[in-house]
Amino acid sequence: MIKLKINNIEVTAKKGESILDVAIRNGIKIPAVCRHSDLEPKSSCRLCLVSIKGINGFHTSCSTYVENGMEVTTDSPEIRKLRKINLELLFSQHIEQCNQCNWKYKCRLLSLAKDYNIKITKFNDRKKGFPEKKFGPSIVFDSSKCIDCKNCVQMCQKQGIGYLTVKEKDGFFQVVTDPKKECVYCGQCITHCPSGAFEEVSSVEDVEKELKNNYVVFQFAPAIRSSIGEEFGMPYGSITTGKLAASIKKLGAKKVFDVSVSADITTIEEGGELIERLSSGKNLPMFTSCCPSWVRYVEVYRPELAKNLTSVRSPHIILGGLTKTYFANKEKIDPKKIIVVSVMPCTSKKYEILREELKVDGMKPVDYVLTTRELGRLLKKNNIDFSNIKDEALDPPWNESTGAGVIYGNTGGVMESALRTVYEKLTGKELKKLDFKEVRGLEGSKEAKVKIGNRVVNVAIINGLGNIGKIDLKKYDYIEVMACPGGCIGGGGQPIPVDNEIREKRALSLYKIDKNNKIRMAHKSPIVEMIYKDFLNNKKNIHKTCHTKYFPKNK
Amino acid sequence: MDIVKKIEEAGLKGRGGGAFPTALKWTLAKKAKGKEKYVVCNASEGEPNVFKDGYILDNCLEEVINGIKIAQDFISAKDSYIYLNKNYSINKDVGNIIVFKKNSGYIGGEESSMCEAIEGKRAEPRKRPPFLTDCGLFGCPTLVNNVETFYYVSKIAKGEYNHCRFFSINGDVPNAGVYELPEDKTIFQALKETNNYPNFDFFTQIGGGASGEIMLPQELNKPVFGAGSITVYNRKTTDKYDLMEKWAEFFHTGNCDKCVPCREGAFRVYEMIKERNIDYDKLDDIFLTLKKSSFCSLGKGIPLPFESLMKKIR
């Protein structure tokens, strides 16, 4: 235990903690723009300056570590003056487009500008006319908003991709894309950018048009229900399933469905495939495929692993397909007139829906993807008071999922759902302990040995693509991979800011929903039972709505 | 007598510009715990008007290599490197020493940036502590010295040290070149004895052709400092804005762009001077934050030439 004083207040800390972290924990405000707890401090914004008694000069509190007896001052006229100048310089390279910005209501830069009373236009904008670049159908990088903190580059490297890099141009080292690499659209650059230079390619306006003119069906992912409240100032981890149904209805959607329902179908299909592969011993380990960034990563960077991916489609693609076949037929609606909009925690899903091989009877299963943030924006635009709206029910037939379907939003969730189902299917016995604690949590890689009957199934769970290299794939039978830290609750389409504390709260809420659900296993879902009886009762229908193929790049 | 004692007795200080006591650095590197250690000879010499390391490499390479080998033996280093300015070349045998050609701008010569570059990363300074003698190249204790320092280590080992240093004398002088002169020679004497003392109104820049301080004729009664350069400017024919623009461009393009004060500040200094439209309040603000809040010594040192020029030359 270390004892130190910050602004004459005695505080305690652990060895290895930064002054900034200790100060924040004790409610002492220090401005810091480039700092993100997922990344090593770069101490480049030079705003978190503090002075330390007995040591000359000013020190960046993000990268200066506590020592016993330290006496730290976080505010003084000189510190304020330096912060003010550095803020003015930061603004000199940032073209403000606050109106359309991801940070809009919660911009740290803007609130610091007020706190320090700076003139944000003191210098002319040196990035005027700097280009915008689109990364596929998912992400757009506006380099004129970039403040060169390089968090995005660091994060892209941490993800094991390195699509974003730094190159010298006109006397400046700038963030650029590496032409030799391909983006996997995970969107972590967006959630780690403090200046809103990265955003999703927006579909808000398209969806608004469809809402005016067409039969629009919304379906939202498991991870949305515990995160979207943040966009409306609700506490982290607020569960808002009923509010989602009510507010989306208010937008004019004809139906609001829950993708957790089809997550249960994914589990049935994927569980079946796992049982098959375990008995044949072929193409093990089997990988999950719900995460389109992971699938793209395999196709582009590890094509030799494509045969190990499960052939099962991701839940929202399955549900969109079922809506345009089974549901359309039942409701006697021309499926070509149904517009399916998925609300996803994800930017990569915008790319996934364009994959040709997913078409069902010539139709795209999903027509548009909105991120959690985009839905927030759309609701605000329509003056819908999300935090106060009265809960409404979701629409049948895709209204009630099991607990297993909801935890799909967490890292380890797909695995846990599959294990519950595979256990009962393989042994024919009732699973007593439903919680698989070993597969939960935010560590980048986890593993478990699960005894099913008389065999042990070795499983691993990866979240954060960069962690894939940390395990020996050959050791396992079944591996879940999610590109984003924490899985979908930490997705590239989720509200900002995000860090492990926030991810934890979002995740716990999904586990809470699971815990309180009467039905917690995919194969016990009445909807699943019904759909397998009425529609998924032949290979053709199962194949066209639930399975897919992959296109590994030739190396 | 062991080499570090001899170095200490000779009073040798680093000749790259920092003037850190060489014996102390060597002792720290020797004491540091690490499975592997490295020696790096910094031959990146990248500041305008400083060219003595290139001269030493061309004319006395054997002494430099000998100095590096003594260091390698002393700290039991696994490998030694010469980190070479991209415009320099070494055409003689250097034994087992690895020659690494610098591939970055000026900041790449700062010793922690240099370690990053050799490791294959972008040349960007590291936060210290830890110091390189504890955690340098590839995370191992690393002893970094300048070319000239290694040259004199060799001389000390042979008992031939003459308390000299190398002067890069240039600018508006008739006999520009590199001179080896006693280190306590004043700038005045150095100019006189090399027949370079001007017979016209002049000022000088000492210790580096960008970051060096401006010194007037009456201030030259002291030894040279920094990287050992003396640049003479004819007051009549020198446009002080042209001169400042050259420095400013050098800092703006040669820095690493990591921290806000240096990336944005150096650019604005360049912009204002280039356009000959200087807002002195803004300039003072930028100089203040450069001095007090830059990440590394390059940024902290930017204001000195400008401020000394503006103060002394009206």
DSSP readout, B157-208?
HTT---SEEEEEEEES-SS-EEEEEETT-BHHHHHHHTT---SSSEEEEES-
Q: What is the ipTM of this complex?
A: 0.94
Chain A residues inside the 8 Å CB shell of B121: none
Residue of A nearest to B259 (CA): A44
**Per-residue pLDDT tens digits for A467-506:** 999 999 999 999 999 999 999 999 999 999 999 999 999 9
Chain B residues inside the 8 Å CB shell of A43: 127, 259, 295
**Would you state the pLDDT for residue A100?**
84
CB pairs below 8 Å between A and B: how many? 70
A43:B259 CB<8 A: yes
Chain A interface, mutation test: which of B124, B245, B260, most A Cβ atoms within 10 Å? B260
Chain A interface, mutation test: which of B122, B246, B264, most A Cβ atoms within 10 Å? B264
For the cut 70, the answer to whether the pLDDT of residue A432 exceeds it is yes
User: At A549, which amino acid appears?
Assistant: K
Q: What is the mean pLDDT of residues B166-191?
A: 97
Of the candidates B127, B257, B289, which has its C-beta nearest A86's C-beta?
A: B289
Chain A residues inside the 8 Å CB shell of B294: 46
**Per-residue pLDDT tens digits for A283-331:** 999 999 999 999 999 999 999 999 999 999 999 999 999 999 999 999 9
The Cα B28–Cα B189 span in angstroms is 36
Residue of A nearest to B279 (CA): A123
Name the burial class of residue A39, with classes exposed (0-12), middle (13-18) and buried (19+) by CB atoms within 10 angstroms of its CB: middle
Chain B interface, mutation test: which of A52, A118, A173, most B Cβ atoms within 10 Å? A173
Of the candidates A46, A81, A168, which has its C-beta nearest B261's C-beta?
A: A46
Question: Cβ of A30: how many Cβ atoms within 10 Å?
Answer: 23
Residue of B nearest to A124 (CA): B268
Chain B residues inside the 8 Å CB shell of A46: 259-261, 289, 293-295
Q: Is A172 at the interface with chain B, CB within 8 A?
A: yes
B292:A173 CB<8 A: no
Of the candidates B105, B264, B295, which has its C-beta nearest A89's C-beta?
A: B264
A172:B122 CB<8 A: no
**Would you state the pLDDT for residue B74?**
96
H or E element at residue B100: strand B98-101
Instruction: Please give the mean pLDDT across all residues of chain A.
Output: 97
Q: Is A176 at the interface with chain B, CB within 8 A?
A: no
Q: Is B246 at the interface with chain A, CB within 8 A?
A: no
Token output for A8:
């004459």
For the cut 90, the answer to whether the pLDDT of residue B106 exceeds it is no
B122:A173 CB<8 A: yes
**Would you state the pLDDT for residue B190?**
98
**Would you state the pLDDT for residue A555?**
63
The Cα A113–Cα A97 span in angstroms is 15
B286:A58 CB<8 A: no
The Cα B12–Cα B260 span in angstroms is 36
For the cut 70, the answer to whether the pLDDT of residue A47 exceeds it is yes
pLDDT over 70 percentage in chain B: 100
| Cβ within 8 Å of B, A 109-168 | 122-123, 126, 148, 166, 168
Q: Is B268 at the interface with chain A, CB within 8 A?
A: yes
The Cα A515–Cα B108 span in angstroms is 57
The Cα A375–Cα A344 span in angstroms is 9
For the cut 80, the answer to whether the pLDDT of residue B1 exceeds it is no
Token output for A249:
């209805």
Short-list A424, A411, A551, CA closest to A491: A411
How close B289 gets to chain A, by Cα (Å)? 6
pTM for this entry: 0.94
Q: Is B127 at the interface with chain A, CB within 8 A?
A: yes
**Would you state the pLDDT for residue B157?**
96
Provide the β-strand partners of residue B146. Answer: B42
B264:A92 CB<8 A: yes
- For residue A14, the Cα-to-chain-centroid distance in whole angstroms is 30
Token output for B211:
């970051």
Helix residue ranges, H only, A214-331: 241-251, 259-280, 292-301, 315-322, 328-331
Of the candidates B257, B261, B289, which has its C-beta nearest A148's C-beta?
A: B257
A90:B258 CB<8 A: no
For the cut 80, the answer to whether the pLDDT of residue A254 exceeds it is yes
Q: Is B293 at the interface with chain A, CB within 8 A?
A: yes
The secondary structure of residue A476, as a DSSP letter, is: -
No. of H helices and E strands in chain A? 18, 18
Reported confidence tier of residue B314, pLDDT bands at 50, 70, 90: confident
Report the SS3 class of residue A449.
Answer: strand
Q: At what angle do helices B266-274 and B280-293 cross, to 10 degrees?
A: 150
Decide if A377 contacts A228 (C-beta within 8 A): no
For the cut 90, the answer to whether the pLDDT of residue A453 exceeds it is no
Reported confidence tier of residue A105, pLDDT bands at 50, 70, 90: confident
Q: Is B181 at the interface with chain A, CB within 8 A?
A: no
**Would you state the pLDDT for residue B108?**
82
**Per-residue pLDDT tens digits for A388-419:** 999 999 999 999 999 999 999 999 999 999 99
Give how far Cα B154 sits from Cα of A262, B63, B71, B145, B160, Å: 76, 6, 10, 13, 8
Q: Is B253 at the interface with chain A, CB within 8 A?
A: yes
For the cut 70, the answer to whether the pLDDT of residue A62 exceeds it is yes
Q: What is the mean pLDDT of residues A365-393?
A: 97
**Per-residue pLDDT tens digits for B232-283:** 999 999 999 999 999 999 999 999 999 999 999 999 999 999 999 999 999 9
Provide the β-strand partners of residue A68. Answer: none
**Would you state the pLDDT for residue B12?**
96
Reported confidence tier of residue B128, pLDDT bands at 50, 70, 90: confident
Residue of A nearest to B121 (CA): A166
Residue carrying the six token digits 């000299």: B164
The secondary structure of residue A387, as a DSSP letter, is: G
Chain B residues inside the 8 Å CB shell of A171: 249, 252-253, 267
